[in-house]
């Protein structure tokens, strides 16, 4: 456990896959700690949290989930059972959480999605299988208390940060942003288009970065990696990263229709494992759809396959 400014504590939980860890944060509140994010609900999650909370001392007043990805939501029910504290989650985020983790047919839907975007049948199984690794360890809290951006939780303002996840919420108080996966220091947060996600997640993300620049936090505490000492500069870097990526995506298009699967090789290389390819396809799609919305690309659908050309 690390001690940070403003009495905040950071709990680092290990993950079985990259990036190998996730940070949860304990925020000092009126009636006890607000625990932000939970890690994955692995068999030892309760034990790990019991030890961390004993070290922190005091009681837990609330558990807050920033977004429904396994490493953030996965042990929410464990924390609730351990502490009795209510679990809070964003309205939109909880709807997606149910849609993905509460739906036994989600894998089928994902399989169709990758086929629609050009993945050959022999690889779709691997692409989807990888995403099922965490499924047994996602112990999200059913019927949490729902919140929306603009509301407050014990003095912390909830900030909408869509892009990486449509319904992601960050927390802001006294210039400190609990950033989850909206801003990361060394790695770039993934911004993918998935089944049932908003139509143009990259536009959402670029706008959310703009809002971060306006809010001008002095410190951002991310879900992975070190604290970000210059969050505004980092938000600008991430905008620039995507501007360059959009140029690359546009340059990869011509008059021959190409699928997101094919283009993911041009944009992210050939040397990716199935997990990497899965994110590469989703991220390629978010860039292609941004180009379509900008009028720089066209989407075509024929024989159950979506492909893109230059406009
Ligand atoms: Zn995430």
Q: What are the sequence ranges of the domains in the chain?
A: 2-104+135-250
Domain 2-104+135-250 has CATH 3.40.718.10: no
Average pLDDT over residues 281-296: 98
Predicted TM-score (pTM) of the model is: 0.96
Residue 132 pLDDT exceeds 80: no
Ligand 1 ion: nearby residues, β-carbon < 5 Å:
69, 181
8 A C-beta contact, residue 82 and residue 50: yes
With contact defined as beta carbons under 8 Å apart, do 23 and 178 qualify? no
Q: How confident is the model at residue 1 (pLDDT cuts 50, 70, 90)?
A: confident
Distance 190 CA to ligand 1 centre (A): 8
Q: C-alpha angle with apex 248: 129 to 278, nearest 5 degrees?
A: 5
User: pLDDT band for position 135 (50/70/90)?
Assistant: confident
Q: What is the pLDDT of residues 229-257, one digit of tens each?
A: 999 999 999 999 999 999 999 999 999 99
Q: What are the pLDDT digits (tens) for 163-178?
A: 999 999 999 999 999 9
pLDDT at 101 over 80: yes
Measured CA to CA, the distance from residue 104 to residue 145 in angstroms comes to 24
Q: Is the pLDDT of residue 130 over 70?
A: no
Structure tokens at 298: 């066209």
CA of 171 to the centre of ligand 1 (A): 15
* Distance in Å, CA 165 to ligand 1 centroid: 7
Residue 148: strand pairing partners: none
Spatial distance between the Cα atoms of 53 and 96, rounded to a whole number of angstroms? 29
């Amino acid at each position: 456990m690390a001690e940070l400014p403003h009495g905040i504590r950071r709990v680092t939980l290990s993950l079985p896959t990259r990036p190998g860890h996730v940070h949860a944060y304990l925020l000092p509140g009126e009636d006890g700690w607000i625990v932000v994010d939970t890690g994955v609900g692995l068999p030892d999650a309760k034990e790990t949290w019991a030890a961390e909370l004993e070290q922190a001392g005091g009681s837990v007043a609330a558990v807050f989930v920033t977004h429904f990805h396994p490493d953030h939501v996965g042990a929410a029910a464990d924390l609730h059972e351990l502490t009795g504290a209510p679990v809070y989650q964003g309205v939109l985020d909880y709807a997606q959480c149910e849609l993905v983790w509460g739906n036994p047919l989600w894998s089928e839907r994902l399989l169709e999605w990758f086929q629609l975007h050009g993945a050959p049948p022999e690889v779709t199984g691997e692409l989807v299988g990888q995403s099922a690794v965490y499924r047994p360890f996602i112990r999200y809290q059913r019927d949490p208390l729902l919140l929306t951006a603009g509301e407050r939780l014990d003095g912390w303002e909830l900030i909408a940060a869509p892009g990486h996840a449509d319904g992601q919420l960050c927390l802001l108080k006294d210039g400190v942003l609990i950033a989850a996966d909206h801003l990361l220091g060394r790695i770039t947060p993934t911004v993918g288009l998935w089944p049932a996600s908003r139509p143009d997640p990259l536009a959402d993300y670029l706008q959310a970065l703009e809002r971060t620049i306006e809010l001008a936090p002095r410190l951002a505490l991310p879900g992975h990696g070190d604290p970000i000492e210059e969050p505004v500069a980092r938000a600008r870097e991430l905008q620039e990263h995507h501007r360059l990526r959009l140029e690359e995506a546009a340059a990869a298009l011509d008059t021959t229709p190409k699928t997101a699967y094919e283009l993911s090789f041009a944009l992210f290389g050939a040397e990716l494992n199935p997990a990497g390819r899965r994110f590469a396809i989703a991220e390629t799609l978010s860039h292609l759809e941004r180009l379509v919305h900008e009028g720089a690309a066209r989407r075509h659908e024929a024989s159950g396959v979506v492909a893109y050309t230059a406009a």
